[in-house]
Structure 1
Amino acid sequence: MIRVVVVDDDRLVTESLKTILEASGEIKVVATGQSASEAVTLYLKEKPDVLLSDIRMGDSTGITAAKEILQQDTAAIILLLTTFSDDEYIREALSLGVKGYLIKQNLAAIVPAIKAVYNGQSVFGSEIAGKLSEVLQQQPQKKAATFQLSEREEAILLEVARGKNNKEIAKALFLSEGTVRNYISQLLDKLAVRDRTQLAIFYYQEYQ
């Protein structure tokens, strides 16, 4: 059972999301909140597998909450929901290492997205994915040639960018999961990035 905290400044939305998530039979909503400050408090108290948070809330933003949480727990899995596909929010979310960013109206995608980020993937809704290239072009780029990646490292990087987890990468490239983990650790060190999301960002900046 995936343990989730849901935060949205509209109580009706949090209750609706709780109903949708728990109807899947695979997710347990352990707490709900209505503000960015509550998002931080509830995350630290409950230590959920996934935090599902709105972006724009009365006292602050989900981005601010995510930043504070990730400063205290770098392994936190955060999935952001919004009605706004704002470029600045997307850039901030990516730079922080948030695992997913979805448009709130796409309710059918929320359960699969939670399961995906829980399993180590990064998720961006179709509305967001269509803007990634444009947004990433506005960020400082690191050149692959500078890091002299091997063909195998580039193959691993491609699979990470496709959102595959270690088991799926191992199957696709005929490697053991341990070998995949080792390659990903090497890539994180070599490229000086902190997580798989940042590896995916690097791939889209350099290879797309």
Structure 2
Amino acid sequence: MKVLIIDDDKLVCSSLKIILSSDKEVTVCGSGNSGEDAINLYEETNPDILLMDIRMEPMSGLAAGEKILHLHPDAKILYLTTFLDDDYIIKALNIGAKGYMLKQDFESILSALHAVYQGQNVYGNEIITKLPVLLQQSNSRVNYESYGITDKEYEIICKIADGLSNKEISELLFLSEGTVRNYISLILEKLSLRDRTQIAIFYYKNC
């Protein structure tokens, strides 16, 4: 099992390597410290599992994971973070991550990796207790179709809410920046909003 480790804390990366090296079935095929590293190293190493942090700069683990899964739908991503954040958990679920664990559950990392490798989804105990409520909340979004918002426009709204720039959105969705700007203009008009910030606020108020 080849595992790629991504965490902006180099000490965490080193500690994870030590933990994973205790299992003869696991090979750490690379490590990095940013979302950009995750994308580049994923292409270089083709890991079986990407073990990745969430809150990183300038590109978050969620944004990197979404891009990787867009290019490689079969990618297995296991998030390992210190943040028990509802929005993060829902986002990880929505993009298709295979798991979400807290770093304090380090003793369960190896068993979680094996489970993900075998095709299972893995969530820490704290996340499992929150899932029923979070899934119910995620299904109560505003009806964007009633505003005339298309699937592509909704996808761009989500990217704006994630804090992506026009350039990042264009690269992720394989569109020109001009096309992205045109989509945003249409979104603003349909939702009667003034700017990108209001789009993000509208999204989070209605998610």
Q: Same fold (TM over 0.5)?
A: yes
The whole-number CA distance in structure 1 between the counterparts of 2:33 and 2:26 is: 20
The whole-number CA distance in structure 2 between the counterparts of 1:17 and 1:6 is: 8
Q: How many residues align?
A: 140
Distance apart, 1:24 and its partner CA: 1.5
Identity %: 46
SS at match of 1:84: coil
Distance apart, 1:58 and its partner CA: 2.2
Task: Write the deviation string for residues 28-60 of structure 1: whole angstroms up to 9, x where unpaired.
Answer: 001000001001110111110000000111222
Distance apart, 1:61 and its partner CA: 1.1
Task: Write the deviation string for residues 107-147 of structure 1: whole angstroms up to 9, x where unpaired.
Answer: 01110010000000000000111100110011227xxxxxx
The whole-number CA distance in structure 1 between the counterparts of 2:92 and 2:119 is: 17
Q: How does 1:1-150 map to 2 (within 5 A)?
A: 2-140=1-139
Q: How does 1:154-173 map to 2 (within 5 A)?
A: none
Q: Which amino acid aligns with 1:17?
A: L
The whole-number CA distance in structure 2 between the counterparts of 1:66 and 1:58 is: 14
The whole-number CA distance in structure 1 between the counterparts of 2:27 and 2:11 is: 18
Structure 1 residue ranges, 4+ long, deviating more than 3 angstroms after superposition: none
Distance apart, 1:105 and its partner CA: 1.2
Q: Which amino acid aligns with 1:23?
A: S
Coordinate RMSD, CA, aligned: 0.9
The whole-number CA distance in structure 1 between the counterparts of 2:76 and 2:98 is: 6
The whole-number CA distance in structure 2 between the counterparts of 1:37 and 1:29 is: 18
Distance apart, 1:25 and its partner CA: 1.5
Distance apart, 1:22 and its partner CA: 1.2
Partner of 2:181: none
Q: Which amino acid aligns with 1:55?
A: I
Q: Which runs of 5+ in 2 are unaligned?
A: 141-207
The whole-number CA distance in structure 1 between the counterparts of 2:126 and 2:24 is: 27
Q: Which amino acid aligns with 2:56?
A: M
SS at match of 1:45: helix
SS at match of 1:6: strand
Partner of 1:195: none
Larger radius of gyration: 2
